Amino acid sequence: MSCCSGGYCKFKFEEGPPLVDNSVTNLNAVYQFLPYGTILEEGELVRIWMESGQSKTVTLAEKIPLVFTAIGPEAKLGQAVLPWQLIALDSGIDYEDLMDWEHHPLYNPEETSVLLKFHHPIVVKPSLKMWFLKLLYTLRTL
C-alpha cells in the first residue's frame, strides 16, 4: 500500500484489533460506507485508519445493511433518517456519488453495501490538578 507516487511514505500497521476495509478521512469519523460489505460484527473492537498510516481503536456500534432506491440509499431495516452528508464526508466519498451509488461504475448488485457506525471510547484529558498530583507522587516516590 502506497499513498504517494514517490513511495517514501510506506508504513505498516501495528498489531491489534482488525482494521476496517477502507480508510476514513479523519480518526473521529462516526460513519463509514462500505460498498461491498464486511465480515466485521457489531460490538467488535476494530481499528479505523487513514491513508497516512494513523489508526484508532473504536467499537463497531452498528452494522446497517443498505438498499438503493430512486431517492438514494436507505437502511434495509427501515431505520431513522441517516446523515448522508456526514457519511460521505467521513467515508471520503463524494456526496453525489454516494446518493447515486446504484449507477456508479463500481456498484456491484451481487454485494450488499453496509454502513458502519462507530462508538469512540472516552479519552480523559488530564487536568492541571491531575498533572500536579502525578508530579507530587513522582517526587514522593523518589
Task: Report d(CA 24, CA 28) in Å as an integer.
Answer: 9
58 sits in which H/E element: strand 55-69
Q: How far apart are the first and last CA of the chain?
A: 47
pLDDT score recorded for residue 123: 78
pLDDT score recorded for residue 1: 44
Q: What is the pLDDT of residues 108-126, one digit of tens each?
A: 888 888 999 999 888 778 8
Single-letter residue type at 42: E
Using pLDDT thresholds of 50, 70 and 90, give the confidence band for residue 59.
very high
pLDDT score recorded for residue 2: 45
Which cell numbers in the block locate residue 35?
460498498
pTM value > 0.85: no
Give the largest CA-CA distance in the chain.
69
Q: How many residues does the chain have?
A: 142
43: left (phi over 0), alpha (psi -120 to 50) or beta: left
